[in-house]
Structure 1
Amino acid sequence: MSISEQDAVAALTPARRTVVPSRDRIRESGREAPGAVCHALSARITGPVRPGIRDELAGRFSERAAELVAAGPAADLFPGAATLWPQAVPCRSDSSDAARWRTRELARPLVAHRDPAVRGVLLTYADGVADLVVVAHRAALGASALRRFAGEVLGRTPAPDTAAVTPDTASAAPDAAAQAARLADCGFDDRPDWGLGRPHGPDTPETRTLPLPAGHPAGDTESWTAALGLVLARYEGLTRPLVPALVTDTADPRAVEGIALIPVEAGPAHTLGTVDKSLRAALAAGPVWYTDALRRELVAAGRDGEAFPAVGIVAVGHGPARVSGTEAYLPFQRAPFPVTVSVTRDTGGGLLLRCDHTPRLLHADVADRLLGHVSRVHRALVESPDTPLADVALMDEDELAGTAELGRPAGPPWFEPERIDVAVAAIAESRPDAVAVSFESTRLSYRELDGRADRLAHALRGLGVADGDRVGVCLERSAELVVTLLAVLKAGATYVPMDPAYPQERLAYTTADAELATVVTDRADFPGGDGVRVIGTAELAALAPGTCDGPPSSATGPHDPAYVIYTSGSTGRPKGVVIPHVNVLSLMAATLEDFALGSDDVWTLFHSSAFDFSVWEIWGCLLTGGRLVVVPYWVSRSSEEFHRLLVQERVSVLSQTPSAFAHLMDVERDGAEPAPVRLVVFGGEGLEPRMLLPWFDRHPESACRVVNMYGITETTVHVTAQTVTRVEALTGSKSVGHALPGWWVRVADPEGRPLPVGVAGEIYVGGAGVAAHYLNKPDLDEQRFLTDPRTGERMYRSGDKGRLLPDGRLEHLGRLDSQVKLRGFRIELDEIRAVLMDDPQVGAAAVVLNRTDPDDPATAQLDAYVVLEGDDTAGVRQRAARYLPEYMVPSTVTPLDRMPLTPNGKLDAHKLPRPAPAPVSAPAPAAAPAPVSGAEPAVPQDEFTSTLLEVWQEVLGVPVGPDDNFFDLGGNSLLAMRVGAALRRRGAATVPMRDLYMSPTIRQLAAGRA
C-alpha cells in the first residue's frame, strides 16, 4: 500500500536536515538479508583463455576493486582484499550445466563485515569460453558503476582518473527521528489490498516477467518511478503516493545507491509531463532516504511489518552500453521490497519488466496486470507527456472487455413479462386449494388469497384508486397485510409500505412525499392530513363486493411500478425507490432453477414490509407456489419462539440478516432440535462467514444450502449470490458471489473509469434489477442512475466499495460514504445528523456507528455527539425519536464543547471520546422504608430480580439499576434476544420479548411477576 496524500505532503515538507554519512547507510544495510543489497553481473569472454590472461584479469580486478573501495566512504566496513577466483567448469559454455553454474554464482550474496565489497569469479568452460561473474554490495557499486567496473577489468572500458572523482562521503539525508514523526501515521502495509494474495499461501518467491516491444522507450529511473506511482495512485485512490525506489545519491556513476521515498503527483490537474517534472524536482531537492534507523523509529512508533510501502521499483534498464554481447544482470539477489518491480534487459538486450513477489502478496494474474499497466503508462508518459491524467487508461480494449465480461454472467432465463398479481393469479388457478399464506391460526388457500385480493381491489377502485396511483399500506405483519398488498397491485396501483412502528412525523412525510390519496392502516392515530383517505382493513373489507369475476380491468403492464420503498436519505429525509413489476419477475427467473424453488417450499415473512427483504420473502414464495408463514412481530423478537415456529411449520426457505441468524444458532447450540430448513438466504448486511461454523456442525452442506446475497433496494433486493460452505467460513471469505443471471456488476474509480481485477472501487450495478428512478428526485436520479458509455445500458452507482476477483465473483468491502447497515437496515448517518441539527439546542452534531465489542455485531449501536446549549441530552434523544424510526434513534447522545476536526476541517472521528453512558439509577437500599401511598415499591430481593440484574449487566456491559430502561442503556432487539439466551442457560425463568418491550425496567418486570 502506498502512503496517503496527506502523509506524503508531510513527509516531504522542507525541514531541518542533518548530515548522515553514507557509511552509516552502508553499515545499516548489513542488517538486511544479504541478497537484498547485492547485485551481480556476468560478462562473456570468448576464448581461448590462457593462464597469462587469467592472471592479468585477476591483477586488474584486485587493483580496480581496491581503488574503488579505498576511495569510497566506508572502506573499513568491507574486510579483506577483493580477489578474482578462477573456477574450471567441466562442460561446454552452451550447456545447461554451464547455465546452472553461472546462475548459482550470480545468486551467491556477499555478507557485510565478512566478505569484500566486490567478489569476482572467472568461470572457464571446457570449450575455452569464460564468464566473468562480479557480485557487488550496492552500497559500494551502483548499477552503472558495476557495469563500468566489469568493463575496466575486461579492458573494454577505459579507467577514469580516480583523482578526479570526488566520493560521496556525506549525503544529505533527513534526521531519522524527524522523518519518523512525519511517517509514523502513514498506512504502511506489506500486503497490498489489490494483490489478491493468499494470506496462508506459500511464502516462496515468485517472478513474473513482461518483455517489452522493441519500440518501447528505455526511459530512466525517474520515468519508470513516475509510471509505477501513477498506477499505484489509481489502484489505491491516492493523489500523491510515495514510491520507494533504488536510486543513486548523486550524478557520480560510482556513487552508492539507497532507497528513496519519491513523491508522485497524481492529482487530477496534472498531465503526464508535469508529474514527471515534479518528481525530478523532488529528487533534485534532496531525496528522502529510507534508512534502517528510520525503520526502527517507525516500528517503535507502533508500525508493524516492513514499515515501508509494499511496492517499490528498481529501474536499471536505462544503463550504459553492455559490457559484452552475452551479458546477464541480476538487479538484486533478493527483492528489496515486498513487491518489487524492476526494469532490466534480457539476454538479447531487450527491455524486460519484472515483478518479484510471493503468493501471499500477489496473485500471479495480478502481477501480470501490474506489469502491463506500468508499461502502458510509462510509454504514454514518455511519448505523450501532454496527456491529462484523467485520459490515461490503465487497460487496453481487450482487458476492458474481459473485465466487463467477468462481472456479467449469462443472460436471464426467458420468462413472460407480466404483472406480479397476474403471475400470482396463474399460480392460484393451477393449484387453488394449496395453502398460500398462514398466520397463527389463519390459513388462506391460493383460491382464497386471490379471491379476497380481487374483491379488495374492487373496493379500492370504488374509493377512487386508479391505474398508476400510489396507495399507502401501513399494517403489521399478518395474512391481511399480504392480501392488501396483492389487492393494491390488482387495482392497477403501486403499494407504498410503511411500518406501523414508525413515528408519526416519518409517516406524515412519506404520505406527503408519495402524494398518497389513500392509506390502508389499522393504526388509529395515523397522520393522514388533508386530502388523504385513511381506511382500516375491516372498513375496506366491508366495501368489497361479496363476489366478483376477477380483478378490475387495468391498463397497467409489467413495466409499470409495483411498489415504492423508502430508504434512508443523506439530506435528512428518506427517499422513495420506484420498482417495476418486471424487476421482481426477473429476480425470480434468475434464482428459480439455481435455488430449486417450488411448490413444496415453506417460506417465512420475517421482515417488515417497509424493508425490501420482504419483497423477496412475499413474492418469492407466492410466485413459485410455496406456502408463506407470516411471523408475528413478537415471535420475530424471540429467537426461541421463532425457532419453535420453524420446526412446527417445517419451514424450508429462510431469509435472515446475519445478526438475527446468530441468535437462532444460539437456540440450537443450547439444545434445541435442528431447524428443518434446506435453504438459508442472507442479506441486508455484511456476513462474517466464520460465525456459521457451528451451523455447519449441525446442518451438513448436503442438507442445507447457505447463500450470501448482496443487494440494494435500487436494484431489486438481490444482485449477487455466493454459496457459503465450510471452506468460506474457515477462510473468512468476503465474496458475495457472481452477479445473478440478467444482472451485472462493475467496479470503477471516482471518475467512473473501470478498474482492473483486484482493485477496490465503487460498485456499479446494471441489468434487469435497476429501479425506474427515485420518486420526485430528478437531481438524485442524475447522480445515481447513469448510462454506461460503452454499452448504453442503465446502471446504478451504489456507493458500496468492492472489487472483482479473477473468477468474476464480487467482494463487498463496505461503504464509501456515511451510509451504514445496522441490523439489516440501510441508514444514512447524515439523515440522523440532519434531524439532530434541527433541534434548536444543537449547534453541531455527528453520528457514528460503534460496537461496544468489536467482534460482536449484536453490540453495534449508533452514537451521537452534539455541541449543546445546556445539558439536556435526554431531550435531544427524545426529540429525535419523534422523527426517526426506532432503529435510527441514537443509543447515546454525548455533549461536547466542540467537534474534533482534521487539518482539512472535516470531522476527525478517531478523536471522538467514548460515548457517555445513560444515567444509572442508584441501587435500592437493603432495607428500604415502607413506601408512601402512590410511590414505587422497592424491588423485591428475589432470585429472579438478582439474576436479571446480573444478566442485564453482563449483556449490556454497563452498571444496571432497577429503574434503568433496557433500551436507554444501549439495548436493542438483538441484545434482548441475548438476555433470553443468558436466562435460558442459567435455567432461570425467561422474560417474554413482549414483556421486555412493554416493561423495559427491572422494577417493572418484577412488579409484573408479583
Structure 2
Amino acid sequence: MSISEQDAVAALTPARRTVVHARDRVRESSREAPGAVCHALCVRFTDTVRADARDGLAKRFADLAAGLAATVPVFRRTARLWPQAVPCRSDAPDAERWRERELARPLVAHRDAAVRAVLLTYADEVSELVVVAHRGALGATALHDFTAELLGQAPAGGAVPRPDGRRPDTAPAAGLADCHFDVQLDWGLGRPQGPDTTATRLLTLPDDHPAGDTGSWTTALGIVLARYEGLTRPVLAALATDPSDGHAVEGVALVPVEADPATTLAAADRQVRAALADGPAWYTDDLRRELADTVGESEPVVGLVVHDHRPAGLPGTAPVAHRPFQRAPFPVTLSVTHDAGERLLRCDFPARRMHDDIADQLLRHVRRVHRALVESPDTPVADVELLDEDELREVAALGRRTPAPSFEPERIDRTIAALAASRPDAVAVSCDGTRIGYGELDHRADLLAHALRGIGVADGDRVGVCLERSAELIVTLLAVLKAGATYVPMDPAYPQERLSYTTGDAGLTTVVTDHAEFPGGDGVRVIGTAELAELAPKTCDGPPASATGPQDPAYVIYTSGSTGRPKGVVVPHVNVLSLMAATTEDFGLGTDDTWTLFHSSAFDFSVWEIWGCLLTGGHLVVVPYWVSRSPEEFHRLLVQERVSVLSQTPSAFAHLLDVERDGGEPVPVRLVVFGGEGLEPRMLLPWFDRHPETACRVVNMYGITETTVHVTAQTVTRAEALAGSKSVGHALPGWWVRVADPEGRPLPVGVAGEIHVGGAGVAAHYLNKPELTEQRFRVDRLTGERLYRSGDKGRLLPDGRLEHLGRLDNQVKLRGFRIELDEIRAVLQDDPLVASAAVVLNRTDPDDPATAQLDAFVVLEEGDDTAAVRQRAAKYLPEYMVPTTVTALDRMPLTTNGKLDARKLPAPAPAPRPEPRVAAPAPVKAEPQDAAGTGNTAGEAPQDTFEAALLEIWQEVLGVPVGPDDNFFDLGGNSLLAMRVGAALRRRGGATVSMRDLYMFPTIRQLVAVRAE
C-alpha cells in the first residue's frame, strides 16, 4: 500500500477502514468460499422461446455482462448466455435436478465472469432462465433488476451498470470468506460428536404476513437473539448494501441490536437501520477487537440474507426459485426468499451447532417478532412474547413430567415412630461401635422430647442443635421434632460470630450443644446432651402432646447470603415426606439399605441422608468428622459397614476415587447420589471401570435448600460420562422446573436462563426476611402456584431434562471477553492427567486491571507436569481462556459441607518459564541443617524409614527445611497440606498419617512415637 493510500485509510472510520482491499477480498472469497458469495434466480417462460428470441436474449446478456465487467475490474472474463437442452419434460423429477444443479453452481472471481446465465430448454419446449451472480458484483435487488432488464423490462431499482458508470477498485464486495465465527451456540443444542453436515429448515410465511426488508428482519432476529442469549445488545451479521455504491453491491454488516427491555420495537428498528446505513465492513481481527471494546456483548454467529419482495411479475415469465446463497455464509443463516411461488423463512445450520427442533423454534419466534414489529411498532421490547399459548403449554409440560405420588401427610417423627413400632430391633443408627435399634431410638427421643418440654420448649419453638456427628445428634434432632419444635442445626466448627448470629436471628431460647464455648448470650439456655438426658423422665408413654402437624416447620437451615449474612430457610415436615415419596420406589430404598451421614447437619444434604434413611427403615452409619476428613478411614468404614447408599458432593467423592485408584478394595455401594454442587461426569470413568452400571447406580441430583434438598434426578451412565453431559435429569414426581428470563417469562427449549422450581419441595419462607422472601418466592403468574427463583442458570432440553449451567453470576470478564469458568474447568477435567480442577480469576495487583489473569488448580493423576496440562488446554480453548498458571495440588480444599473452598486455594505457582539447557552438576552430599534453622541438630539422622519418609515429604510439601521437632502448622502447614502428606505416604505404599493424628501430634518425632506405640 502506498503512503497516500495509507493516509486515506487512516482517515476512514474503523468500520469503513476495513473495506479498502475489496479487489483482493473478492478474489480470496471466491477462491475459498464461492458458494457463500453467490446467489441465483430462476424464471420460467410461459411461452415457447423461439430461436430469434434466444438470440436476442443472448445479445442483451452479453451487453449487460460487458457493462458489469467494466464496473467491477475483478471480473474480466467475457460472459455469454449458455443454451442447454434438457432431455426430459419440465415437470419430470430429473428437471428439478437439472435446475438445482444450475442454481447451485457458483462463480469464482479469478476465473469467471461476474454473472452467468443458462437457458434450460426441456423436451416439452418449456424454457427456464437461471441467472447466477457474485454478490461482489450484484446484490439481491441488482440481480432482480439485471434479470428484468435482460428480459427487456425496466429495472425496479435503477439502471444496471454501464461501461460509462465504472466503479472504483476499492468498492466493497461480499467478504464472507473472512467470517470465521468461532462461537459456541449453546442454545442450539447441536450434536458436537455428530456428523458434520448442513441442514435446512423452512417455515412458510402466510400470505397475510407483512412484507419486510433487511432492516425489519434484522431487528426481529436481534430481539429473538437477545432473549435467547440473555443480552441487551446482541450483534448479528447481515448482508447489507454499501450506501456509497449505486448498484446495490452487498457486503457483511455487523449490526448491534439495541434490545433493552425499556425500548420499543420501533426504536430498536431505527437503530438497526442506522447501523445498516453505515454499510458493510470486513470481519477482520481489528473489527473483532473493536467489537470486544465497544459493541462488546457478543460475537455474531447468526446472520441474515434478506430479499423479502416477490419477484416482479414479468410479462411472459413466472418466478420459479430464488437462492439467496449457494452455501450458507454464516454459521447459522436465516434468509427470506421465494420458491415455487411460496414466501419462505429459511434456516441453514450445521447439525453440530443446532438441533432441528431448535431451528424450527427459532424460525417461529423470528416470524412472531417480525409481525409484532410491523403491526405494533410501539410495543416495548419487554412485552414481546416469543412463545404462543401452545408453546407455553408445551414448555410447562416438559418441566412437569410426573405428578406427585399420593401419600398421607404426616410429621417426620410420627412416621419414624410407626416404623419403630413395626421393627423395633432393627438397627437404626450406628457410630463408633455404638448401635441403636429403631425401638431404642424412638424411646430415647421421646424421653428427650419430654425433657425439652420441661425446660420450656413449646410447639413451634425453634431449638438450636450444635453437635458433632454422632448417634446422640440423631436422637436429639428427632427429640426436637417430637417436642413439636423446629430444629436449627449449627456446625460446631463454625466461627463464633456465625454461631452467635444464627442464635440471635433464629430467636433461639434453647440450644443443645456440648460445645463448651458456645456463644449463647442473654435469654438463651445452653444445655449439654448429658444434662438434658438427666432432666428426662425415667419412663414415658410416647412423646409429649403436640398440636403441630405436617405443614409446620421441621427445620431451619441457614445458607450463605448475597449480603454476607446467612439466611434461614424454613422447611415443613411434609416437604421431606414428599421427597421420600418421590424417590423411594425409583431408587429402591428400603429396610435392607445402609446409608452414611457424611455431611454436617447444618448442610441440607444431611436432611436427605438422615431422614431419607430413617423414613425408609434403613441403617444410618454416622461418619465422625475426622473419618470424613480421611479418605482412607472413610473407605474402610464403607467396606466394614457394607454401605449400600452413599451420598456425596463430587469434590468429596474425588478423594474416595483416589483411594480406590491407589489399590483400595471396591466399596459395596449399590447407589451413589451426587448433590450439593455441579458434577463433571468424566471424573466417574474410573469408577465405572470398577463398579459396573449393572451393580451400582449413579444418580446426579440437582437441588437447593429452598426446595428441600433435591429437585431433579439424572442416572449417570458411562455414555453420559464420556459425553460430559450437564444434564441433571427430569423433575422429581411432584416437583416442576422452568427456565425463565429476568422478567420471569418462560424461555424456549434450549435457551439458558434462571431456573425456577415449583411443587412439593418449595420451602415456606426465609426466616425474618420478608423482602427477600417476596423477591425469591413468587406466585407463578401462569398457574397460581408458589415457585422459587433459584439464581441458578440452566436450560430445558427437548426431552424435558434440565441442564444445570452454574450460577447466573458465574461469569468473569477478562479484557472484554465474557468467560464461563466452568467451561475452562471442564476442559482441564477432561485431561487424562487431571483428576479434578478449579479455575479462578485473580489480580496480581488489585489496583491494576491489566494484571488480571486466570489461575487453574489441578489434582494430577500422577507426576507434576502442569506445563503439559496447560499445553493441552491451549488446544481446546481460545487464547484468552487459557489459564496463565496451572498449580498442582494433592487435593482440593473443601468446606465443611464438602464443597470446594476457593478461599483456601494456595497462591498460584509462577507461570512456567523455559529453562536454559545446561549440563547437570555432579551430585553434592547435603549438609546437615543447623539447629538454629530448623531444630534438626547437626549430625542427627532419621531413626527409621518412616521418619525419613516424613522428613522428605514435609520438606517437599512445605517447601522449607524441616526437623523432627518442628511443628507442621508453625511451618505454614494447613489441612490441605496435611492431606498432601497423607496422600504422598499412601502412594509410597507405606504407613500413612491420619488428619486427626497430624493435628494432635504435629511434629515428626511425636508421630513416629505414636506409631511405635
Classify the TM-score, shorter chain.
0.7 to 0.9
Aligned residue among 848, 857, 867 for 1:852: 857
* Residues 1:273 and 2:286 are matched in the alignment: no
**Contact kept in structure 2, 1:474 and 1:497, CA below 8 Å:** yes
Aligned-residue offset at 1:282: 2.4
Matched residue SS, 2:344: strand
How has the CA–CA distance of structure 1 residues 227 and 949 changed in structure 2, closer, same or farther, with 3 Å as cutoff? Answer: farther
* Residues 1:703 and 2:695 are matched in the alignment: yes
Aligned-residue offset at 1:850: 6.3
Aligned-residue offset at 1:250: 2.5
Instruction: Name structure 1 gaps, 5 residues minimum.
Output: 1-11, 830-841, 861-880, 895-911, 916-923
**Contact kept in structure 1, 2:172 and 2:242, CA below 8 Å:** no
Matched residue SS, 1:616: helix
Residue of structure 2 in register with 1:679 after alignment: 671
**Contact kept in structure 1, 2:512 and 2:529, CA below 8 Å:** yes
Q: Distance in 1 between matches of 2:788 and 2:979?
A: 36
Of 803-812 and 990-999, deviating more is 990-999
**Contact kept in structure 1, 2:70 and 2:162, CA below 8 Å:** no
Matched to 2:726, the amino acid is K
Residues 734-780 of structure 1 deviation map (CA, whole Å, 9 limit, x = unaligned): 00000101111111111211111101111111111111111111111
How has the CA–CA distance of structure 1 residues 441 and 127 changed in structure 2, closer, same or farther, with 3 Å as cutoff? Answer: same
Aligned-residue offset at 1:320: 5.1
**Contact kept in structure 1, 2:86 and 2:121, CA below 8 Å:** yes
**Contact kept in structure 2, 1:578 and 1:773, CA below 8 Å:** yes
Q: How does 1:472-871 map to 2 (within 5 A)?
A: 472-817=464-809, 851-853=856-858
How has the CA–CA distance of structure 1 residues 1008 and 332 changed in structure 2, closer, same or farther, with 3 Å as cutoff? Answer: same
Aligned residue among 461, 475, 490 for 1:469: 461
Residue of structure 2 in register with 1:329 after alignment: 322
Matched to 2:566, the amino acid is P
Aligned residue among 316, 340, 348 for 2:307: 316
Of 685-694 and 63-72, deviating more is 63-72
Aligned-residue offset at 1:947: 3.5
How has the CA–CA distance of structure 1 residues 81 and 172 changed in structure 2, closer, same or farther, with 3 Å as cutoff? Answer: closer
How has the CA–CA distance of structure 1 residues 992 and 766 changed in structure 2, closer, same or farther, with 3 Å as cutoff? Answer: same
Aligned-residue offset at 1:425: 0.3
Q: Distance in 2 between matches of 1:137 and 1:886?
A: 58
How has the CA–CA distance of structure 1 residues 781 and 298 changed in structure 2, closer, same or farther, with 3 Å as cutoff? Answer: closer
Residue of structure 1 in register with 2:915 after alignment: none
Q: Distance in 2 between matches of 1:294 and 1:964?
A: 57
How has the CA–CA distance of structure 1 residues 353 and 15 changed in structure 2, closer, same or farther, with 3 Å as cutoff? Answer: closer
Residue of structure 2 in register with 1:870 after alignment: none
Aligned-residue offset at 1:793: 0.9
Q: Distance in 1 between matches of 2:742 and 2:447?
A: 51
Aligned residue among 988, 991, 1005 for 2:990: 988
Aligned residue among 106, 124, 129 for 2:103: 106
How has the CA–CA distance of structure 1 residues 954 and 799 changed in structure 2, closer, same or farther, with 3 Å as cutoff? Answer: farther
How has the CA–CA distance of structure 1 residues 46 and 105 changed in structure 2, closer, same or farther, with 3 Å as cutoff? Answer: same
**Contact kept in structure 1, 2:46 and 2:318, CA below 8 Å:** no
Aligned residue among 373, 379, 404 for 1:381: 373
Q: Distance in 1 between matches of 2:631 and 2:70?
A: 80
Aligned-residue offset at 1:422: 0.4
How has the CA–CA distance of structure 1 residues 1002 and 777 changed in structure 2, closer, same or farther, with 3 Å as cutoff? Answer: farther
Matched residue SS, 1:447: helix
How has the CA–CA distance of structure 1 residues 263 and 410 changed in structure 2, closer, same or farther, with 3 Å as cutoff? Answer: same
**Contact kept in structure 1, 2:649 and 2:899, CA below 8 Å:** no
Aligned-residue offset at 1:108: 1.1
Residue of structure 2 in register with 1:344 after alignment: 337
Matched residue SS, 2:303: strand
Residue of structure 1 in register with 2:116 after alignment: 119
Residue of structure 2 in register with 1:238 after alignment: 231
Aligned-residue offset at 1:301: 12
Residue of structure 1 in register with 2:190 after alignment: 197
Residues 1-26 of structure 1 deviation map (CA, whole Å, 9 limit, x = unaligned): xxxxxxxxxxx998895872643442
Q: Distance in 1 between matches of 2:468 and 2:670?
A: 28
**Contact kept in structure 1, 2:146 and 2:160, CA below 8 Å:** no
Q: Distance in 2 between matches of 1:893 and 1:677?
A: 34
**Contact kept in structure 2, 1:475 and 1:522, CA below 8 Å:** yes
Residues 568-602 of structure 1 deviation map (CA, whole Å, 9 limit, x = unaligned): 12222211111100000000000011001111111
How has the CA–CA distance of structure 1 residues 52 and 661 changed in structure 2, closer, same or farther, with 3 Å as cutoff? Answer: same
Q: How does 1:359-508 map to 2 (within 5 A)?
A: 359-508=351-500
Aligned-residue offset at 1:955: 6.9
Residue of structure 1 in register with 2:136 after alignment: 139
How has the CA–CA distance of structure 1 residues 188 and 97 changed in structure 2, closer, same or farther, with 3 Å as cutoff? Answer: closer
Of 636-645 and 705-714, deviating more is 636-645
Matched residue SS, 1:214: coil
Matched residue SS, 1:797: strand
Residue of structure 2 in register with 1:149 after alignment: 146
Q: Distance in 2 between matches of 1:299 and 1:675?
A: 56
Q: Distance in 2 between matches of 1:848 and 1:395?
A: 41
Matched to 2:253, the amino acid is A
Matched to 1:639, the amino acid is P
Instruction: Name structure 2 gaps, 5 residues minimum.
Output: 1-11, 812-820, 826-837, 841-846, 867-893, 912-924
Q: How does 1:164-179 map to 2 (within 5 A)?
A: 166=165, 168-169=167-168
Aligned-residue offset at 1:51: 2.8
Q: Distance in 2 between matches of 1:255 and 1:847?
A: 46
Aligned-residue offset at 1:1001: 6.4
**Contact kept in structure 1, 2:650 and 2:677, CA below 8 Å:** yes
Matched residue SS, 1:746: strand
Q: Distance in 1 between matches of 2:586 and 2:479?
A: 30
Aligned-residue offset at 1:937: 6.7
Q: Distance in 1 between matches of 2:1005 and 2:169?
A: 77
**Contact kept in structure 1, 2:250 and 2:280, CA below 8 Å:** no
**Contact kept in structure 2, 1:28 and 1:292, CA below 8 Å:** no
How has the CA–CA distance of structure 1 residues 584 and 308 changed in structure 2, closer, same or farther, with 3 Å as cutoff? Answer: closer
Matched residue SS, 1:314: strand
Residue of structure 2 in register with 1:891 after alignment: 904
How has the CA–CA distance of structure 1 residues 299 and 964 changed in structure 2, closer, same or farther, with 3 Å as cutoff? Answer: farther
Aligned-residue offset at 1:47: 3.9
- TM-score, normalising length: structure 1: 0.84
Residue of structure 1 in register with 2:247 after alignment: 254
How has the CA–CA distance of structure 1 residues 889 and 722 changed in structure 2, closer, same or farther, with 3 Å as cutoff? Answer: closer
Q: Distance in 1 between matches of 2:526 and 2:116?
A: 93
Q: Distance in 2 between matches of 1:84 and 1:16?
A: 36
How has the CA–CA distance of structure 1 residues 884 and 217 changed in structure 2, closer, same or farther, with 3 Å as cutoff? Answer: closer
Q: Distance in 2 between matches of 1:758 and 1:712?
A: 22
| Paired residue total | 915
**Contact kept in structure 2, 1:506 and 1:884, CA below 8 Å:** no
Q: Distance in 2 between matches of 1:731 and 1:817?
A: 25
Matched to 1:991, the amino acid is V
**Contact kept in structure 1, 2:190 and 2:352, CA below 8 Å:** yes
Matched residue SS, 1:398: helix
**Contact kept in structure 2, 1:147 and 1:322, CA below 8 Å:** no
Matched to 1:63, the amino acid is D
Residues 882-907 of structure 1 deviation map (CA, whole Å, 9 limit, x = unaligned): x999986933799xxxxxxxxxxxxx
**Contact kept in structure 1, 2:45 and 2:318, CA below 8 Å:** no
Residues 338-384 of structure 1 deviation map (CA, whole Å, 9 limit, x = unaligned): 00000112311x32100000110001110001011111111111111
Identity of aligned residues (%): 70
Q: Distance in 2 between matches of 1:940 and 1:598?
A: 58
